[in-house]
Amino acid sequence: MEEHSAKPGPRPLASPRIGLLATDLDGTLLGPSPEFNRYNEFRDEICDRQTAGCIWVISTGRRLRDFQRIFLPLRSFGIIPDFIVTRHAYIFERKTWGWFPHVLWNLKILELQIRNRIHARRVIPRLRRLIARHIPFVRVPRQNSYRICFRFNDLDNAMRGDELLSEAVRPYPYLQVFRYRNEVDVYRVPFTKGLSLMELARKVGVVPANILAIGDGHNDISMMDPSIAGHCACPSNAAPEVIEMVNLHGGHIARQPHLAGVVEILHAFENNTVDSRLPDNWIASPDLDNPRSSRPQPSNHRRTGWVSFALFLVTIYMTWAVFAYYGFAPLRQTILKPLLFIFHVLREILVSLGLQK
């Protein structure tokens, strides 16, 4: 077992002023069962900060519709964020009539996500060839377009493989390397939460020193980077790598899970009782079994972002074409030309099949 020294990190001399609070949703605000007994206390904590000028953003991997559905119990208690970041990247601002998207940023981040998915498909096979060249007798129990897991025959080779893979993926921030005993897991981790939080901070005029990020999973690590959020924290149910990061940067490691842990974190930063000590009987992540080995693999994948974007463009085009056909939109001939060409081709196909004269 490797030695792991706890680094409590520096404690602030005074309670920091938090101008922007970023929290994860699943696993952080929401646990396996609703914590109704905590909702009123959490609402009071959040409302007091919002009244004092603090901006609250929820950053989640869920789509907007899914977020609105699952967040409804908290909303019924008067708990409403100022912004939400959906699917790890897309910013929406709360208005009186609903959620307003930041269109230009959302299009920019969509292009980045598509490009990263394409790159990941190319990089992962290269990692397998890299390990095969340098370390013999390595098994690959799992591999797909976004993940590859190596199982080494001893701990020394696993540590060497960890070093090789960490160096190889350094140019690709969306790929992360995690070692668990003699297994090294490389998979695509959404890193756009950090980019979205940085963009939102720029928009509302909050510097990193006044940002607090709270999360529990690997996809939250990017927004807890000190260059983006000057303060970080996590509930007790956070992933080992997240707890180690909070410990390293002197954030608060809650002794309670989920929403109770978030309330504890808010109290700790308000009362200057931030505690970054590792939990009792702490075991570093390299000494644990791979938690992803026992997870069932998904049988299907969600519709990717570029498909949604393509459907959005088709809808815009068809709407414009209908208005142009009746003379209510400009560029009538230009807009209708592709559509008329498609109709002409379909008609020729039907004629060749004898279905139309």
The encoded tokens of residue 20 equal 């922007």
Which strands sit side by side in the sheet containing 20-24, from one edge to the other?
98-101, 90-95, 83-86, 55-59, 20-24, 211-214, 231-234, 252-253
Percentage, residues of the chain above pLDDT 70 = 89
Name the amino acid, one letter, at 76.
S
Distance of CA 299 to the CA centre of its chain: 21
pTM of the model: 0.74
Structural domains of the chain, with CATH: 20-89+191-287 (3.40.50.1000), 118-188 (3.30.70), 305-352 (no CATH)
How far apart (Å, rounded) are the C-alpha atoms in residues 132 and 150? 10
Residue 57 φ/ψ, nearest 5 degrees:
-125, 135
Predicted confidence (pLDDT) per residue in 295-334, tens digit: 544 444 444 456 777 777 888 888 887 887 777 778 778 8
Predicted confidence (pLDDT) per residue in 252-304, tens digit: 999 999 999 999 999 999 999 999 999 888 877 776 777 666 554 444 444 44
How far apart (Å, rounded) are the C-alpha atoms in residues 159 and 165? 10
pLDDT (average), residues 191-205: 93
Predicted confidence (pLDDT) per residue in 136-153, tens digit: 889 999 888 889 999 999
Closest alpha carbon to 273 in 254, 291, 289, 292? 254
How far apart (Å, rounded) are the C-alpha atoms in residues 234 and 256? 10
